[in-house]
Amino acid sequence: MSLGDFMKIGIIGGGISGVICAIKASINNDVTILEGNDKLLKKLLLTGNGKCNYFNDDQNINNYHSEESLEDIITKDNIEKVKSFYDEIGIIPKIKNGYYYPTSNTANSVREALLKELENNNVKIKYNYKVNKIEKQNESFIINDELAFDKLVISTGSCAYPKTGSDGSGYKLLEDLNLKIVKPLPSLTPLIIKEKFKWAGIRCDAKISLYENNNYITEQQGELQLTDYGVSGICIFNLSSLASRGLDKNKEEVIKINFLPFVDNVKEFLLERNSKLKNRNILELLEGVLNYKLVNVLLDKAGIKSDLSLTQLTDLQFNNLVETLSSLSLQVIDTKKYDYSQVCSGGLSLSEINKQTMETKINGLYVIGELLDIDGLCGGYNITVATLSGILAGENV
Ligand SMILES: Cc1cc2nc3c(=O)[nH]c(=O)nc-3n(C[C@H](O)[C@H](O)[C@H](O)COP(=O)(O)OP(=O)(O)OC[C@H]3O[C@@H](n4cnc5c(N)ncnc54)[C@H](O)[C@@H]3O)c2cc1C
């Protein structure tokens, strides 16, 4: 590079983080995105069920997970940068309970806005270009033995949803550069449970608590989807990151489901309902509260015949019923794998980067997006990480 020339910046991976980094970096540099697919931002189109939930007002740090502290990254100023960025590119938010979507209701409008910025800034793009080798030679980075850049950003994503292009190849690139990786694991994914029930297809509102080696960890409430292999739904996704890590360390992971989260005292609730509603057996008593197919499964599990009335139950049966309805205990034996996972936990250890700039300990090499060891809950947190790390690297590269 001669004085007066722009720096040549290479960005490996044209997903959310890579594209945003390119937009920022191209203000002062000659930027090229190297993308394995024949188009950019494939995964973005799937986000938020095609509506792209890109931000959330609730920025409690506990909504993010990492092996390292995130205090220096999830700061008020940084979060403001993310929000302003979408404003700058013309996305008007539609905010539902703190969850941000584009007012257009479609992820494609976010994609188009980002592509327009790339075009305005003359960012070069090489499509169908898979990077499998990076070498540092003197002050340059040599890609696949043929391209040279002054600085390099790796934004290849994780191994979640590999059909969108994020096939995990970024981890290999990092390993080859001797950078430390926290083991990637499936996250925001369904859980497989030991017992099998005939409840596939049922959806209900529930509160689910996660226990590890008998210790309470955390809980989530929302729509629970019951499946032939176990449980799914956003509340389960939000528990899966911690469950996945625990299972990997051979810990016992158990979920307890409360099917009546709106009831304070289940015993009293059942007795009151029984005295109010005449001549009902237990199945009929619970109809109107829970899906009847689910009631049958739960009564079966509690060892209670559905044609009995509440007053015919022994104390033991009554207690069993209460426990099954409010604290059904299930052993988690695995998670669904990467094809079903929205993100991965793990990735480049944050001990390897400068948290203000995203530069690694290798001068001129930056790592951003989901490839970093940061994963968030459902609700816009993962796009926030991709956006923020893209901005920080793009401004500092
Ligand atoms: C179904 C689904 C729904 C989601 N919904 C939301 C949501 O609503 N809100 C939210 O916050 N998050 C959501 N996420 C998560 C979010 O999409 C990701 O966290 C985010 O896309 C990560 O951005 P990234 O830039 O790190 O990686 P990606 O967006 O995965 O981009 C990586 C890019 O790198 C390319 N690439 C990979 N390897 C190479 C290589 N070796 N050479 C060249 N190119 C390469 C890939 O082709 C891809 O284009 C969802 C994810 C999924 C799968």
Task: Please write the tens of the pLDDT for every residue from 263-309.
Answer: 999 999 999 999 999 899 999 999 889 999 999 999 999 999 999 99
Nearest to 385 by CA among 158, 115, 214, 210: 158
- CB of 10 shorter than 6 A to ligand 1: no
- Spacing, Cα 195 to ligand 1 middle (Å): 33
The amino acid that residue 38 corresponds to is: D
- Spacing, Cα 269 to ligand 1 middle (Å): 46
- Spacing, Cα 18 to ligand 1 middle (Å): 10
Residues 226 and 305 grouped into a single domain: yes
Please compute the mean of the pLDDT values over residues 235-246 and round it to a whole number: 97
- CB of 343 shorter than 6 A to ligand 1: yes
Residue from 20, 174, 240, 383 to probe ligand 1 pocket by mutation (most atoms less than 8 Å from CB): 383
Last residue of a domain, one of 336, 354, 369: 336
Q: Is residue 1 part of a domain?
A: no
Residues 60 and 163 grouped into a single domain: yes
Q: Which pLDDT value is given to residue 2?
A: 45
Per-residue pLDDT reduced to its tens digit, 10-49: 999 999 999 999 999 999 999 999 999 999 999 999 999 9
What is the 8-class DSSP label of residue 367? E
Using DSSP, state whether 282 is helix, strand or coil: helix
The number of folded domains in the chain is 2
Residues 153 and 301 grouped into a single domain: no
Pair 54, 380: CB distance under 8 Å: yes
Residues 133 and 246 grouped into a single domain: no
- Spacing, Cα 47 to ligand 1 middle (Å): 9
Pair 158, 372: CB distance under 8 Å: no
In ligand 1, which atom is closest to the CA atom of 384?
11
Q: Grade residue 59 by pLDDT with cuts at 50, 70 and 90.
A: very high
Taking each helix axis from N to C end, the angle separating 315-326 and 292-302, rounded to the nearest 10 degrees, works out to: 130
Question: What is the C-alpha to C-alpha distance for residues 354 and 176, in angstroms, rounded to an integer?
Answer: 20
- CB of 123 shorter than 6 A to ligand 1: no
Please compute the mean of the pLDDT values over residues 384-393 and round it to a whole number: 98
* Residue found under tokens 């990254």: 73
- CB of 46 shorter than 6 A to ligand 1: yes
Q: Grade residue 4 by pLDDT with cuts at 50, 70 and 90.
A: low
Rounded to the nearest 10°, the torsion over CA 236, 238, 240, 246 is: -130
Q: Which pLDDT value is given to residue 5?
A: 65
Question: What is the C-alpha to C-alpha distance for residues 342 and 388, in angstroms, rounded to an integer?
Answer: 19
Q: Is the pLDDT reported for residue 3 higher than 50?
A: no
Please compute the mean of the pLDDT values over residues 335-352 and round it to a whole number: 97
Q: What percent of the chain has pLDDT over 90?
A: 97
pTM of the model: 0.95
Query: pLDDT averaged over the chain?
Result: 97
Q: Which pLDDT value is given to residue 235?
A: 98
Residues 60 and 98 grouped into a single domain: yes
CB atoms within 10 A of CB 40: 23
Residue from 47, 132, 372, 373 to probe ligand 1 pocket by mutation (most atoms less than 8 Å from CB): 47
Q: Is residue 101 part of a domain?
A: yes
- CB of 350 shorter than 6 A to ligand 1: no
Q: Is residue 178 part of a domain?
A: yes
Range of the domain at 215: 190-336
Q: Which pLDDT value is given to residue 287?
A: 86
Question: Please, what is the Cα angle at 296 between 295 and 297, to 5 degrees?
Answer: 90
Residues 292 and 353 grouped into a single domain: no
Residues 152 and 95 grouped into a single domain: yes
Question: What is the C-alpha to C-alpha distance for residues 146 and 347, in angstroms, rounded to an integer?
Answer: 27
Q: Is residue 2 part of a domain?
A: no
Q: What percent of the chain has pLDDT over 70?
A: 99
- Spacing, Cα 287 to ligand 1 middle (Å): 43
Residue from 23, 24, 43, 339 to probe ligand 1 pocket by mutation (most atoms less than 8 Å from CB): 43
Q: Which pLDDT value is given to residue 335?
A: 98
Residues 156 and 225 grouped into a single domain: no
Q: Is the pLDDT reported for residue 174 higher than 90?
A: yes
Nearest to 197 by CA among 301, 289, 303, 322: 301
CATH of residue 71's domain is 3.50.50.60
Q: Which pLDDT value is given to residue 6?
A: 82
Task: Report residue 170: phi and psi, to 5°.
Answer: -65, -35
- CB of 325 shorter than 6 A to ligand 1: no
Residues 82 and 11 grouped into a single domain: yes
Q: Is the pLDDT reported for residue 83 higher than 80?
A: yes
Task: Report residue 193: phi and psi, to 5°.
Answer: -115, 160
Residues 104 and 202 grouped into a single domain: no
- CB of 47 shorter than 6 A to ligand 1: yes
Last residue of a domain, one of 336, 361, 377: 336
Q: Is residue 174 part of a domain?
A: yes
Last residue of a domain, one of 336, 352, 386: 336
Residues 247 and 331 grouped into a single domain: yes
- Spacing, Cα 301 to ligand 1 middle (Å): 41
In ligand 1, which atom is closest to the CA atom of 132?
41
- CB of 369 shorter than 6 A to ligand 1: yes
CATH of residue 293's domain is 1.10.8.50
In ligand 1, which atom is closest to the CA atom of 368?
26
- Spacing, Cα 382 to ligand 1 middle (Å): 9
- Spacing, Cα 306 to ligand 1 middle (Å): 48
Residues 56 and 137 grouped into a single domain: yes
Question: What is the C-alpha to C-alpha distance for residues 286 and 60, in angstroms, rounded to an integer?
Answer: 37
- Spacing, Cα 44 to ligand 1 middle (Å): 7
Tell me how far the alpha carbon of residue 79 is from its chain's centroid.
18
